[in-house]
Every structure is written in structure tokens, then in C-alpha cells.
């Protein structure tokens, strides 16, 4: 006898991403934008598969959503999405339970986690708050997580396009010499860009941000 699907008792983190100014794309630009969008989602599902409760999926054409078991991966997720070339995204994160059976992909799910993520993405839009907005994690964690989100976005915003590209490639696991080869620049140039953006300090801030989510109740590794 096949066992009926079970509801998840532990809370999780719902993520909603929204492509900024997607409606300004012309008909000729949209196919390429959609292709790179699909590639981003595929990359996230491959790179973060161990932390997923349900895989990221494109919804409503220009949005995506997914469910995370572990919030400590959020800084890495935000960095990869916001350094991804071609398009900019808003991000909303909501903590809570899911009241429906959870399929492999995060589609046709509902519950407080998703409601909080929707409230977060709505806040990101209405108040123009880039870098991720957090709702439902508790008043203290919400404040700390949103503070880290804003300051790290501010650092990314100051980066040149070349620096953003270098750091994105490094985020995928490439070493500096491999980044130099792919971008057809010298390894010394890569090192200079990495030093110019204060990469070690940036990563230390991400470590602090990640540690905030270790305080969440109901994590799968507890």
C-alpha cells in the first residue's frame, strides 16, 4: 500500500523572487531574458539542492519561489541572485509552516511561510528595499536580517559590472585563475578587483548574517 503524502510539521522558509522592470522588455528581448532566468533557477536548484524543502520554480512568468529548510544559506542565495548577470530581482523571505502537502517543486503550496514571503516581496516593491526583505522570523531576527540585507546590498551596489561578474563566477566555485581564463583577463587583474571590493570583509559579514538564522526554531539539523 502506498503511503499518503504527509504534511511537514517543521517550519521552513519560503522565498519569492521578482524580476525588476520585466514589463519593459521588448518582444525581441524577452526570449533571451527568459532563457537566462530559467538558467538561474536551474543553477540555484543544483547548487542549493541539499537545503531545499521544495525546488525553486518559475511562477507568473517573471517570479520564482522555493522553500528552504535552512536559513543559513540565505546570504549565498541572495548573492548569487543579485550578482547574476542580465537582470535584477527583488527578494522576499517568509518564515513559518506550510499547511499543504509539499511536492518536489514549490508549486501549489500554501501556508504562513508563503504568506509572509508574499508580504515581504510586497514590502520590497512598495518601499524600494533591495537585497531581500524578511517577514515572520520574529521581531528581533527580522530587524537583524533586514539590516544585514541592506548593508550588503549597498556594498554590491558600489561594485563595477566587471567586479560583479568576477564575484558571481567565484560564487559558482571557480578559482581566481579559472575566472581570469573565462573573462580573458589576467589573474592579477582578478586579484586586484577582489581586493578593491573588500571581499574578505564582505564574506565575514555574510558569515554573521548566516549565523542569525541558526537561531530559528525547528531547523532540520536540530
pTM listed for this prediction? 0.90
- Whether residue 24 is contained in a domain is answered as yes
Residue 99 is assigned to a structural domain of this protein: yes
Determine what percent of the chain is predicted with pLDDT higher than 90.
72
CB 166 within 8 A of CB 193: yes
In a domain, 147, yes or no: yes
Number of folded domains that form the chain: 1
pLDDT at residue 92 is higher than 60: yes
Q: Is residue 175 part of a domain?
A: no
Q: Quick one: which of 192, 186, 33, 53 has its CA closest to 117?
A: 53
pLDDT digits (tens, 9 = 90+) for 98-137: 999 999 999 999 999 999 999 999 999 999 999 999 999 9
The answer to whether residue 219 is domain-embedded is: no
Residue whose entry in the numeric block shows the C-alpha cell 581586493: 195
Per-residue pLDDT tens for 188-202?
999 999 999 999 999
CATH of the domain at 68: 3.30.70.1230
Within a domain: residue 220?
Answer: no
Range of the domain at 137: 12-153
Q: What distance in Å separates the CA atoms of residue 137 and residue 148, rounded to the nearest whole number?
A: 14
pLDDT band at 7 (very low <50, low <70, confident <90, very high): confident
Asked whether residue 74 is domain-assigned, the answer is yes
What local confidence, expressed as pLDDT, does residue 36 receive? 83
| Domain membership flag for residue 146 | yes
Amino acid at each position: 500500500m502506498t503511503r499518503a503524502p504527509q504534511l511537514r510539521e517543521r517550519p521552513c522558509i519560503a522565498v519569492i523572487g521578482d524580476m525588476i522592470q520585466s514589463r519593459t522588455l521588448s518582444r525581441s528581448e524577452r526570449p533571451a531574458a527568459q532563457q537566462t532566468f530559467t538558467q538561474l533557477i536551474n543553477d540555484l536548484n543544483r547548487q542549493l539542492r541539499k537545503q531545499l524543502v521544495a525546488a525553486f520554480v518559475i511562477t507568473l512568468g517573471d517570479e520564482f519561489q522555493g522553500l528552504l529548510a535552512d536559513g543559513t544559506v540565505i546570504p549565498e542565495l541572495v548573492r548569487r541572485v543579485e550578482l547574476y548577470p542580465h537582470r535584477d530581482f527583488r527578494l522576499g523571505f517568509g518564515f513559518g509552516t506550510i499547511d499543504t502537502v509539499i511536492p518536489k517543486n514549490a508549486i501549489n503550496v500554501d501556508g504562513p511561510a508563503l504568506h509572509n514571503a508574499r508580504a515581504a516581496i510586497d514590502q520590497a516593491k512598495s518601499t524600494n528595499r533591495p537585497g531581500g526583505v524578511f517577514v515572520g522570523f520574529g521581531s528581533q531576527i527580522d530587524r537583524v536580517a533586514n539590516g544585514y540585507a541592506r548593508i550588503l546590498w549597498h556594498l554590491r551596489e558600489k561594485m563595477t559590472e566587471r567586479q560583479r561578474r568576477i564575484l558571481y563566477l567565484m560564487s559558482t566555485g571557480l578559482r581566481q585563475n579559472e575566472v581570469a581564463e573565462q573573462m580573458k583577463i589576467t589573474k592579477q587583474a582578478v586579484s586586484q578587483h577582489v581586493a578593491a571590493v573588500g571581499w574578505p570583509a564582505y564574506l565575514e559579514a555574510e558569515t554573521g548574517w548566516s549565523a542569525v538564522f541558526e537561531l530559528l526554531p525547528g531547523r532540520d539539523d536540530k
